[in-house]
Structure 1
Amino acid sequence: MFVPIKEATALIKVMAFFFTWAGFWLPIAIPLAIVLKWHPQKPISVAQKLPLMASLYLIAPLIVWGAAGIENVPFSNYGLAWEPSLFVHLGLGFGLGVFSLAILFGLQWALGWISWQPADISKLASALLPTLLLGLWVGGTEELIFRGFLLNQLLQDYSIWVAAAISSVIFAILHLVWEVRETLPQLPGLWLLGMVLVLARACDGGSLGLAWGLHAGWIWAIASLDTAQLINYTGTVPAWITGLGKKPLAGGVGILLLLATSSLLWLVLSPEF
């Protein structure tokens, strides 16, 4: 079950968290961006994004740890109880995430919306482990922040659905930090992704294992396919169906994937609110 912390007000804690996070990150990010020759108004490359993201995401758990210490609560209150069940559900979520994307791209291939490029096996093989580690790290960090700490704070003052909606809005908007033009079409999909991951936490009795696994599985599969450049969009249907900018979350099929995943979670796992 979700365990909200009943002290102070939710919005004050949320604002304090993000101001503190930004306050620690910006003195690192600004000189790093100068060295990397990146400006927020310009497209960001993978080589530029990874160091900046690493500095941001290494700081976040420390801020959450500090908040837990101030409030005198364990990390398990945010959905991370380091028990065997966490890793079992992490694996189940990861498998579901990868399987759902296999179905998504398989159907698009069957319909002629995408074609498979000749695989460079060495390139694909070399990408699998780094993208796996990236998916586990990014997915775990974002779940701790948005479906863990942030959701718990909002549950002090709001119902689960309102808290889920607000946390998902913040989750979606903060993706604009990296690239506005590419991210704007994905905002509805990112919001819905956040809602599905809240549902996954509810289905997991308040643990983040299932949500973490889903998130990591989706990141790993998409990043691996992109790195190996295995997919070619045929253009037989409008881009808003397959995803604007070749981003599934910016298209109808990505939205359908999230709705199908949420329906499966609801019907099979019976969420606890």
Structure 2
Amino acid sequence: MIRWLGYALVPLVILVIAATIASMLGYGLLWIAGDILPLAKVISKITLVLLLLSIFPLKNYLQFSWAELGFAPKAMFFKQLGQGLALGLLTLLPVLLTLYWLDVHVWDDTRHWTAGKIAEKIGLGLFFAMLIAVGEEILFRGLLLGGLRRKTSIIAAVTISSIYYAALHFLKSKSQLVYADLTPSSGLKLMAEAFANWLNPAILSALLALFVVGVFLAILRSRVPQSLGLCIGCHAAWVWQIKVSRDLFNVNLQADSLFLVNTYYDGVVGPLVSSWLVSALIVYGLWSQRQAKVGLGD
């Protein structure tokens, strides 16, 4: 149990180290460049960059090949990418349609939309969604899940990696410090506030939903060999749809079914996403059991 707990805490130690370095670098960057961005945003971006850069030394330290991280050969990878995009559309589009049907999401008629502007939003949304998905999937379903599977059970690996995946989305500080008041310790104060945000009750339903998202992707990665392409495609499709939906629609704060989303986070992720994906996992589990019985019968 103590050893299992130790493995579970290693990613947290790495995260704290990255955030601490980012806090110091963030102050130094603004000291050199001037008042270009809020310090909290700079720290957040630098922390993410450091975590992504850590993939390479950690990959070498753990002696992972790219195949062990989940990358299939090129042709298969791109095929998986397409299949993942289709799976992502299939699993999130019904949620968005339901939210629109229930008037939780309403068309933003305050903005003038043309076919060209909508196409631009869709194209840019997919590009940035793919960048996000590639980085996060290599980090969470490649390196973290793979590393934990070597040291713990599959259930523990899926659970721990999904907790970190969900929690990282809420490592944020909303304090806006005046540039003239910044000191070398300002970044550390913001970092402490960001970690304290994990105790904010307002994030609970979104945190749970993102945990379920992490479990869904981790199971997908674990059940299909070298399936990181599937995870990247599915993840990208989800982020893409959420980005486009937030551009085109507003959250109706007077809707009777507003409880289905978390308005503190993004107005999409919440109880409806949780219940929908849990249902999908149950169906997949029952299907897998049936296939196993058929295989034994043969």
Q: Which range, TM-score by smaller chain?
A: 0.7 to 0.9
CA distance 1:124–1:71, change in 2 (3 Å): same
Tell me which of 269, 276, 290 is aligned to 1:257: 276
Take 1:80 and 1:24, find their aligned partners in 2: how far apart are those partners?
30
| 1:244 CA drift (Å) | 3.0
Counterpart amino acid of 1:161?
A: I
Which of structures 1 and 2 has the bigger CA Rg? 2
Counterpart amino acid of 2:245?
A: L
CA distance 1:89–1:30, change in 2 (3 Å): farther
1:96 aligned onto 2:116: no
| 1:56 CA drift (Å) | 4.1
Q: Show the counterpart of 1:4.
A: none
Q: Show the counterpart of 2:217.
A: 197
Taking only aligned residues, the RMSD between alpha carbons, in angstroms, comes to: 3.2
| 1:155 CA drift (Å) | 1.5
1:120 aligned onto 2:113: yes
Tell me which of 133, 138, 144 is aligned to 2:138: 144
Correspondence list, 1:40-189, <5 A? 40=40, 48=41, 55-118=46-109, 120-121=113-114, 122-179=116-173, 180=197, 183-189=203-209
| 1:264 CA drift (Å) | 5.3
Q: Show the counterpart of 1:45.
A: none
| 1:77 CA drift (Å) | 1.2
Whether the 8 Å CA contact 1:32–1:52 is kept in 2: the answer is: no
Matched residues, percent identical?
A: 21
TM-score, normalising length: structure 2 = 0.71
Whether the 8 Å CA contact 2:71–2:227 is kept in 1: the answer is: yes
Q: Show the counterpart of 2:255.
A: 236
5+ long unaligned stretches in structure 2: 1-5, 174-196, 293-298
| 1:57 CA drift (Å) | 4.1
Q: Secondary structure at the match of 1:115?
A: strand
CA distance 1:195–1:257, change in 2 (3 Å): same
Q: Show the counterpart of 2:38.
A: 38
Quick check: 99-108 or 155-164, which moved more?
A: 99-108
Take 1:71 and 1:156, find their aligned partners in 2: how far apart are those partners?
10
Take 1:21 and 1:234, find their aligned partners in 2: how far apart are those partners?
37
Q: Secondary structure at the match of 2:60?
A: helix
5+ long unaligned stretches in structure 1: 1-8, 41-47
TM-score, normalising length: structure 1 = 0.77
Whether the 8 Å CA contact 1:131–1:223 is kept in 2: the answer is: yes
